[in-house]
Amino acid sequence: MITEEEVKTLIQLSSIKGLGEVRLKKLILQFNPISKVFDASSSELSEIVGNKLISPIRSAKRKNVEPELAILKKLGAQLIVFQDSSYPENLKNLPDAPPFLYIRGEILPQDALSISVIGARRASHYGRLIADKFAYEFATSGITVVSGLARGIDSCAHRGALRAEGRTIAVLGSGIDVVYPPENKDLFEEICANGAYISEFPPGTQPFRGNFPTRNRLISGLSKAVVVIEATSKSGVSSTVEWALEQNKEVFAVPGNITSETSKGVNRLIADGAQIATSPQDIMEYLGIKPAATKEKDLKLSEEESKIWGLLSHESMQADVLAEKLGFKVPKILGTLLNLELKGIVKQLPGRNFVRNI
């Protein structure tokens, strides 16, 4: 555990343009505690960072970082450096791992067994269900689910892990005090209580577009494998996949409907050599992880409900079609569907379309 003075120094040093992660790591290794860097001679600094950065390092000591320190205290967050035992194990051996991370929540040794679940922000209902299902079964089997807290697939992956009372880690493209997207405020707090969220960006950093490709290397780096569920042909998911391949991580893709825009990216990944995943078990078995036994929910359905449930799937079906297939009147179908909705196992979509809900 580093001191507040060391935290202050690291935030000050990270604000120096041109210092870079490699040089900052060298400074951390050379000066213990890191606050000694401000007392170092010019010759000592020159050997590590060159002459041009000596003056900026001297000036950095005067930078006021009290607002950032106050935010960390308020959130109960911490800053951990790459030599710390609490630094995520899967990142330690990566050459591009950050010199330090901001963390809220807790990283546990068991989080070394992690799988990333990522995909489209504008995901279909089917994609959201699959993300929830995969994450749920991973978490049930003791696997930590990693994702990026974005809308769509990412959020569903986090929720699936939480639904299984498992662990999940969110990697942010903003400061740890910035909730993005804003509608994920409640999810933000749940993750903190059942895992962690991490960022390499200082508190107060807004979710600028350029932050996300950098963030993506941590999503893949934290995990044993990356699973892609829905992605357009120009999806930002490709950035995470590229990092995963560079880090020698296995990439899996869930095949999608060839007529769907959100399937073009994943189907292209499969064509380019990604492993096909049609179930969470496919991935766990490939990685040598024994899946936990899962029990289907006891639905306790009436005869009419069972008939409707038997026809429904994860592809939407209109109430009129259900009525025609079963020989029921539409009002009776709608009433029964309402009962199934109240039980939480059916979801209504626009246009009186209905699908199974996890």
CATH assignment at residue 333? 1.10.10.10
Query: Measured between alpha carbons, how far is 121 from 148 in angstroms, rounded to an integer?
Result: 11
Domain region containing 183: 109-286
Smallest CA-to-CA distance from 177 within 209, 206, 220 is with 206
> Are 221 and 177 within one domain?
yes
What is the number of domains present in the chain? 3
Task: Give percent helix, percent strand, percent coil of the chain, each to the nearest 5.
Answer: 45, 15, 40
> Are 144 and 270 within one domain?
yes
Residue-wise pLDDT for 125-151, tens only, equals 889 989 999 999 999 999 999 999 999
Cis peptide before 109 (omega within 30 of 0): no
Contact residues for 50 (Cβ-Cβ < 8 A; gap 6+) = none
> Are 217 and 259 within one domain?
yes
Q: Residue 89 falls within a domain, yes or no? A: no
> Are 250 and 179 within one domain?
yes
Residue-wise pLDDT for 67-77, tens only, equals 999 999 999 99
Q: Which residue has the tokens 């799937």?
A: 313
- Centre a 10 Å sphere on the Cβ of residue 28 and count the other Cβ atoms it contains: 22
Length of the chain: 358
> Are 314 and 182 within one domain?
no
> Are 49 and 135 within one domain?
no
Q: Residue 282 falls within a domain, yes or no? A: yes
Give the pLDDT confidence score for residue 134 in this predicted structure.
95
Residue 294 has pLDDT above 80, yes or no: no
Query: Measured between alpha carbons, how far is 218 from 96 in angstroms, rounded to an integer?
Result: 9
Residue 96 has pLDDT above 90, yes or no: no
Q: Residue 178 falls within a domain, yes or no? A: yes
Average pLDDT, the chain: 91
Residue 296 has pLDDT above 60, yes or no: no
- CB-CB contact of 249 with 225 (8 Å): yes
Q: Residue 102 falls within a domain, yes or no? A: no
Residue 6 has pLDDT above 60, yes or no: yes
Q: Which one-letter DSSP state was computed for residue 290?
A: P
Residue-wise pLDDT for 213-225, tens only, equals 999 999 999 999 9
> Are 120 and 259 within one domain?
yes
Residue-wise pLDDT for 298-330, tens only, equals 567 888 888 898 888 877 889 999 999 899 999
